[in-house]
Amino acid sequence: MAKRPPRADIRLLILALVAVAAAAFALAEIGLKSAPTPDTGIASAEGEAAIGGPFSLIDQDGKTRTDADFRGSLMLIYFGYTDCPDVCPLALSTMSAAVDSLGDKGKSVVPIFITVDPERDTVEKLKQYAARFNPRFVALTGESAAIEAAAKAYHVYFAKHPEEGGSYSMDHSSVIYLMGRDGQYLAHFGAEASAQDMAQGIAKFL
Ligand code: NI
């Protein structure tokens, strides 16, 4: 590829950033549609269809993990996939920064990543991926039926999106849920939330 003058490179970079931001907003929109109250970012579960429920999945060490394993902790749960180019890395980075910023108080919060692409997201792949963000992440995969059941319980939408060359990406909701020590819904955040807002939202329940 021919060398471009620096100014053109900056323009390209800005265009790329705008494209990423637009994609993030588009996916956040999908997420908000399935969220209980799209306006505040943090909401009470009262009067809404229950969010959450039992799951039985496999973590990045190959161990079976169920929702019951996390009783007594707060679960910060996000569904996505490791090949996601933009929204998932953003959400996981924010979750990581938010739980770390809570210090000792935040040690009872477990950040959980559940793949919606179990076909490609193997235990080994999840192990590498989670480690990139925060060693505290519990990254979960499982049989398609188990993933579908978990996603349904959390009102998470996902679908395969075919790409050229036979590959595919995943369309998916991008809501981050905060679940209580009893496993009940407490609050949710959009993937575009700042780490500071997320930490403040979580701190209310610590
Ligand atoms: Ni994603």
- 126-136 confidence digits (pLDDT tens): 999 999 999 99
pLDDT at site 37: 42
Query: How many Å lie between the centroid of ligand 1 and the Cα of residue 5?
Result: 33
Q: What is the mean pLDDT of residues 166-172?
A: 95
| pLDDT tens digits, 75-90 | 999 999 999 999 999 9
Query: How many Å lie between the centroid of ligand 1 and the Cα of residue 90?
Result: 9
Q: What angle do CA 128, 131, 133 make, to 5 degrees?
A: 120
Q: Tell me the CATH class for 56-203.
A: alpha beta
Query: How many Å lie between the centroid of ligand 1 and the Cα of residue 7?
Result: 31
The pLDDT-based confidence of 35 (bands split at 50, 70, 90) is: very low
Q: pTM of the full predicted structure?
A: 0.78
Would you list the domain boundaries of the chain?
A: 1-32, 56-203
Residue 75: phi and psi, rounded to 5, are: -105, 130
In the chain, the percentage of residues whose pLDDT exceeds 90 is 76
Beta carbons within 8 Å of 73's beta carbon, 6+ residues apart: 108, 109, 110, 181
Query: How many Å lie between the centroid of ligand 1 and the Cα of residue 171?
Result: 7
| pLDDT tens digits, 100-136 | 999 999 999 999 999 999 999 999 999 999 999 999 9
First vs last C-alpha separation in the chain:
53
